[in-house]
Structures are given as structure tokens and as C-alpha cells.
Amino acid sequence: MHGRTRVSGFSLVEVLVAICVIAVLAGILVPTLSYARNKTQTTRCVANLTHIAVATELYYEDHHGPPLTTLPVALRDYVDSASAFVCPKDKGGTDSYSAYYVARGKPGSGEFVVGCPRHGHSDRGAVAFGKAQSDDAVLASVSHDGAPVAPGEVVTGGQLAFADGSKVTIAEGGQVGLLMSFTDDGVCHSVIYVPKASFTTIRCEVTPGSRFEVVTPASIAGVEGTKFDVTTSWEYDAVGNVKYTTDVQVHEGKVKVTDRAGHGKKIVPPGQAKKGKVHKPKAPNDPGNGNGNGNGR
């Protein structure tokens, strides 16, 4: 009689247990690796924005004004590598930041310069402030007549509602774009813009304690109060250039108005108005975002 040889192997139960263990480990490791990858990309993006913030200050010192074209063109002599203008999450892009850039006079430490909203996997964005300070920021929701609005998007008429309770009512046919809305150290920062071609009036009602700016071709209105109107218009001058005008009328609180023609800043109290004017040698149908760089959407 021949003895039988027993073939060793895994039972069905053992195989199922092994599969379960692998699945649990994968469930633990994949989110961790994904978080690490996204954090690395955000860190690289913040480094890019820091570099750009430093470069814009150097540009300002040399040219007595901010960059007014796309950032890669304006700052090519101030930035070592073209990769600094590309967010790691912007695959195939060559200019990730110009659409989220505010051309202003030399900014202060807490004024928004440029940002990137692409890091929404963890509901975070990258933001650079003046004096090259940069940080991660939590993106804040914005809606237009109940529908979500993404950074860089332009809306027409209706009402914008912000996460902090602020709201902007846009006259019929008027256009407003969202640059960024985010919270940093518990404070909500929102930056909107009026495109060059938009002839409109907007009513801004801002929640006290929030930071809010309206960027137009002629002025930047920054809130120190709660309720104000911004009216924008344009006309041709005698030689065919476009003259942009912004009127800021304050109803409650105070508004800091920066004249983009280089005539400084003024704090406008309730019941008063401030008019800003600037000439630009471009046609009014230029789809620029009010920053002078032609990158509005």
C-alpha cells in the first residue's frame, strides 16, 4: 500500500483573512500617502508664491509700480526658473497664478497679492501676502444665486454670498469675478474684481471683522466697515485711450480706497464718496480682471 502525500496550501479561510488584512493596510496607507503627496504639492506651491511675492516687490522698486502683464512675462528677470509660475497640481500649465494675482501698489504685510485654489483635495489653498509672507489657507465657499462659484469665475447680475455672511448685490448685466475667498487665523479674506469691460454698480455688505476687497481698473476698495457701493465705468479720451472711473460711496463703516493711478490711499467715512480715475491704452472689451494683466475668465 502506497502512502498518500498531503499537499500543503492555504485554506479558503486563510486566503480571505489575508485579503482582509491587505485591504485594511491599504485603507490606512493610501490616505496617508495621498495626504503626504498633497501636502508636498501645497508646500511647493506656497514656495512658488513666496518667490513671486518677493519678485513683485523687486519689480515695484525698479519700475515704481506693480507688474501689469502676465506674471511669467513681467517677472522673467526676477525669477530663476519658469517652474516657479506653475503649481504642481496644474498639470501641463505654464502660468498657474496670473488669474489669481492683484496688481496693487507696494502691498502691506496683510494684503493679498496672489493665490492658488487648486489644493481643494483637503479644502486648502495657497496664498501669498505682501512682504513675501505666505501660508496655507482654508478655502471658503462662495455662491451666486445659490450656485457654487469657483475662484477665477465671473458671474453676471444677481447676488454673491460668502461663507462669513457677507454679500454682494450686482446690478443687472454687471459682471464680477471671484479671485479668492479663504480663512486665515479665523479671519475670512475675500477678494473680488470688476472686469475692465463691465459698466456696473455693486452693493457690498460685509460682515464686521472680515477682510474684503473690490479690485477695479481704477481703484482697490478695502473694507474697514460694512456697507458701501462701487460703481465702475469707462470712456475714451481725446486720443483714443480708455479712461476707467470708479466711484466708492460709503453708507456704513469706513472703506480704504487705493487709487491705482498712483495718488495714494484715502479712508472714506460714511456719507462720503471717493472717485478714482486711470487711463489705459487698451480697448474696453479687453477681458482683463481689473488687474491690468488681461487674465480674467
- Cell numbers linked to 263: 495718488
Average the pLDDT over 29-51 and give the result.
74
Average the pLDDT over 211-225 and give the result.
88
The pLDDT value given to residue 293: 41
Average the pLDDT over 149-159 and give the result.
94
CA 295 → CA 34, 35, 98, 154, distances in Å?
Answer: 31, 31, 6, 12
State which H helix or E strand residue 61 sits in: helix 12-63
User: Hey, which CATH number is domain 140-297, 1.10.4080.10, 3.40.50.2000, 2.60.120.1440, 3.30.365.10?
Assistant: 2.60.120.1440
E strand spans, 45-146: 112-116, 124-129, 134-139, 142-144
Where is pLDDT greater, at 21 or 194?
A: 194
Average the pLDDT over 46-74 and give the result.
89
Domain extent listing, the chain: 12-138, 140-297
Is 290's pLDDT higher than 50? no
The pLDDT value given to residue 107: 73
Q: Which long-range contacts (CB under 8 A, 24 or more apart) does 231-236 make?
A: 231/200, 231/201, 231/202, 232/194, 232/198, 232/199, 232/200, 232/201, 233/199, 234/196, 234/197, 234/199, 234/284
The pLDDT value given to residue 260: 73
Q: Which of 32-36, 255-259, 288-292 has the lowest mean pLDDT?
A: 288-292
The pLDDT value given to residue 185: 82
What's the whole-number average pLDDT of the chain?
A: 81
The pLDDT value given to residue 262: 58
The pLDDT value given to residue 120: 65
Record the pTM: 0.79
Read off the pLDDT band of 288 (50, 70, 90): very low
Contact 195, 187 (CB under 8 A): no
Distance, C-alpha 217 to centroid of its chain: 17
